[in-house]
C-alpha cells in the first residue's frame, strides 16, 4: 500500500482555479472511497434546515461521518461534485461552508452544477465525494 499523499496540481497551461485544484495525482496502490451523494438530511430522515447554509453544513457533516467510517477524512478528499439550485445566490455560501472542511491550501478537484430541483422537495444541495483511504 502506498503511503504517499495525493499531489494537487494547477498547471500553468490551464486556467487559474478559484478554490479548487485542476489536477490530482493519486499515488500507485492507493485505496479509494466513493460516497453516495449526500444532502442536507439528518440521520432521522428530516431536512436539516430550510436554508442553503444549514443544508450544506449537514451534507458536509454526513460526508465527514461516511469518510470516518471508511477510515478517511476531509484531508484525504481528492474530488468534490457539488450540486446547487441557484449558483449565483448559493455559490458564496457554498465556498464559505466548503472551506471549513477541505484543505484550502491544496483543495480537491471540483465540479459544481446547477440543477432545477432534487429528488425531494425542499432540498437545495447535494455533495458527491471521492477520497483516498490512508494506509
In tens, the pLDDT along 63-102 reads: 999 999 999 999 999 999 999 999 999 999 999 999 999 9
For residue 52, what are the contacts with CB-CB under 8 A and spacing of at least 6?
84, 89, 90, 93, 94, 124, 125
Domains and CATH numbers, the chain: 7-133 (3.30.1330.40)
Are 23 and 15 within 8 A, CB to CB?
no
pTM of the model: 0.90
DSSP-assigned beta bridge partners for residue 38: 127
Q: pLDDT for 2-60, tens place per residue?
A: 457 888 889 998 888 888 899 988 888 889 999 999 999 999 999 999 999 999 999 99
C-alpha triplet 127, 131, 135: angle, nearest 5°: 155
Amino acid at each position: 500500500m502506498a503511503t504517499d499523499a495525493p499531489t494537487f496540481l494547477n498547471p500553468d497551461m490551464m486556467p487559474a482555479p478559484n478554490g479548487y485544484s485542476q489536477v490530482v495525482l493519486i499515488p500507485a496502490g492507493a485505496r479509494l472511497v466513493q460516497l453516495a451523494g449526500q444532502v442536507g438530511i439528518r440521520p432521522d430522515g428530516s431536512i436539516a434546515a430550510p436554508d442553503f447554509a444549514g443544508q450544506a453544513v449537514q451534507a458536509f457533516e454526513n460526508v465527514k461521518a461516511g469518510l470516518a467510517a471508511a477510515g478517511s477524512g476531509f484531508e484525504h478528499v481528492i474530488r468534490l461534485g457539488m450540486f446547487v439550485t441557484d449558483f449565483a445566490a448559493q455559490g458564496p455560501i457554498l465556498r464559505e461552508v466548503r472551506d471549513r472542511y477541505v484543505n484550502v491550501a491544496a483543495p480537491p478537484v471540483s465540479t459544481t452544477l446547477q440543477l432545477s430541483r432534487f429528488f425531494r422537495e425542499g432540498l437545495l444541495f447535494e455533495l458527491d465525494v471521492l477520497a483516498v483511504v490512508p494506509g
